[in-house]
Structure 1
Amino acid sequence: MDQRMMACTLCHGNQGRATSSGYFPRIAGKPAGYLYNQLTHFRDGRRQNPGMANLLDHLSDAYLRDIAAHFSAIDLPYPPPQPVQASGSAMNRAEVLVRDGDAARQLPACVACHGQALTGVNPAVPGLLGLPRDYLIGQLGAWQTGLRHAHAPDCMAQIAKALPPEDVAALAAWLSSRPVPANSKPAPPVDKPMPMRCGSAVP
């Protein structure tokens, strides 16, 4: 599989560890269900990226599961976060959204779905740490504009559309500035329901 996945690592870095570009995320160690969902989203047009669509166009669901399992099993250390420029008030506002959410806007806390350590939850919820600021802004913007979709109900689209630009910038700065814990593996599945119905929760 390492040789077969060379097309992936050209953009996503050696073993899927990401590059310094800021627009190609780490895929190593992500939950297999999440990776599988994203591969099918690119292949089936829910996420817009011509390069990814061309790579995946003729691949079967079974092979996409093999790709997802391959990268999910790779355990690599994360580099330290890059410094970011953001005001103290913006970082404080972001941390409140991450830890507590905003009930008035029906925004759940990020940790309610992505895990208390923000390293993701198996089988299909990704971690939010270790991602570049520009990538986070780009993905939230893609949900806001409809360029990115997931299985219905698309909970992240609903959340992103409730975030004004200053909250998007603050969240991206806060998340990208946080170090990834030594145990970066996704948390085990939880029995309690998620705070929102989310179609991509189970692949």
Structure 2
Amino acid sequence: MEARTLACVGCHGDKGRGVANVYFPRLAGKPAGYLYNQLIAFQEGRRRYAPMNYLLAYLPPSYLKQMADYFAAQSPDPLPVTAPDAPAATVAQGQQIVAKGLPDKKIPACTACHGAALTGREPGIPGLLGLRADYVSAQLGAWRYGTRTAVAPDCMQMVAATLSEPEVAAVAAYLATLPVPQQDKPVAADTAQLPLACGSQQAAAAPGGHP
């Protein structure tokens, strides 16, 4: 599988461990269910990025599942923290949203779904560490404008559509200050109820990883 995923290395780094480009996320260590959901989303056009749509167009689901399992099993390399080009007040606002949410807008804390340490939650919720501010902002924007969608109910689309542009910038700036720890392991799957219904989490938990 390492040889078969060489096409991924140019953008996502050796074994999916990340590269310097701010728009390409690392894949290593993320929940296999999440990675599989994203591969299916690119294949079905619910995520739109032409190179990914093209590369995955004709691969069978069983092959995509093997790719997801391979990258999930890799250990991520800690990426250096890049100081965000944002005022301290903006970073502090982002920290507040990530840790406490926005109760007046009925937006839960990011930690409520992505784990207290933001390392993700099995089987389908990714970690938020080691992501550059531009990438986080771009993905929240994609959800907001419908170029990235997930299995219904699309909880992240609701969150992104509710956040204001300054709030998106604040969350992105704060997350960019957080390093990837040496042990970046998602929270184990449990029966705890999430604050929002999340179709991707349900799909990842389904037999075969896809409804």
Question: How many angstroms does 1:17 deviate by?
Answer: 1.1
Hey, what's the Cα distance between the residues in 2 that align with 1:40 and 1:108?
27
Counterpart in 2 of 1:163? 163
Counterpart in 2 of 1:30? 30
Q: How does 1:96-175 map to 2 (within 5 A)?
A: 96-175=96-175
Q: How does 1:1-203 map to 2 (within 5 A)?
A: 1-202=1-202, 203=204
Question: How many angstroms does 1:181 deviate by?
Answer: 2.5
Unaligned runs of 5+ in 1: none
Question: How many angstroms does 1:83 deviate by?
Answer: 1.2
Hey, what's the Cα distance between the residues in 1 that align with 2:76 and 2:51?
26
Hey, what's the Cα distance between the residues in 2 that align with 1:76 and 1:43?
25
* Contact 2:17/2:75, CA 8 A, preserved across alignment: no
Question: How many angstroms does 1:60 deviate by?
Answer: 1.1
Hey, what's the Cα distance between the residues in 2 that align with 1:166 and 1:158?
17
AA aligned opposite 1:71: F
Question: How many angstroms does 1:76 deviate by?
Answer: 2.8
Hey, what's the Cα distance between the residues in 2 that align with 1:187 and 1:118?
9
AA aligned opposite 2:179: P
Hey, what's the Cα distance between the residues in 2 that align with 1:180 and 1:71?
16
- Structure 1 segments, 4+ long, off by >4 Å, are none
AA aligned opposite 2:77: P
Q: Which moved more, 1:120-129 or 1:73-82?
A: 73-82
Hey, what's the Cα distance between the residues in 1 that align with 2:146 and 2:73?
31
AA aligned opposite 2:61: D
Deviations 1:10-31 (A, max 9, x none): 2111111111111110001110
Hey, what's the Cα distance between the residues in 2 that align with 1:115 and 1:14?
26
Question: How many angstroms does 1:160 deviate by?
Answer: 0.3
SS at the partner of 1:121? coil
Q: Superposition RMSD on alpha carbons, in Å?
A: 0.9
Question: How many angstroms does 1:182 deviate by?
Answer: 2.6
AA aligned opposite 2:189: P
Hey, what's the Cα distance between the residues in 2 that align with 1:71 and 1:144?
28
SS at the partner of 1:63? helix
SS at the partner of 2:77? coil
Unaligned runs of 5+ in 2: 205-211
Hey, what's the Cα distance between the residues in 2 that align with 1:135 and 1:76?
18
SS at the partner of 1:75? coil
- State the TM-score, normalized to the length of structure 1: 0.97
Counterpart in 1 of 2:208? none
* Contact 2:154/2:198, CA 8 A, preserved across alignment: yes
SS at the partner of 2:97? helix
SS at the partner of 1:187? coil
Question: How many angstroms does 1:124 deviate by?
Answer: 0.8
Aligned length: 203
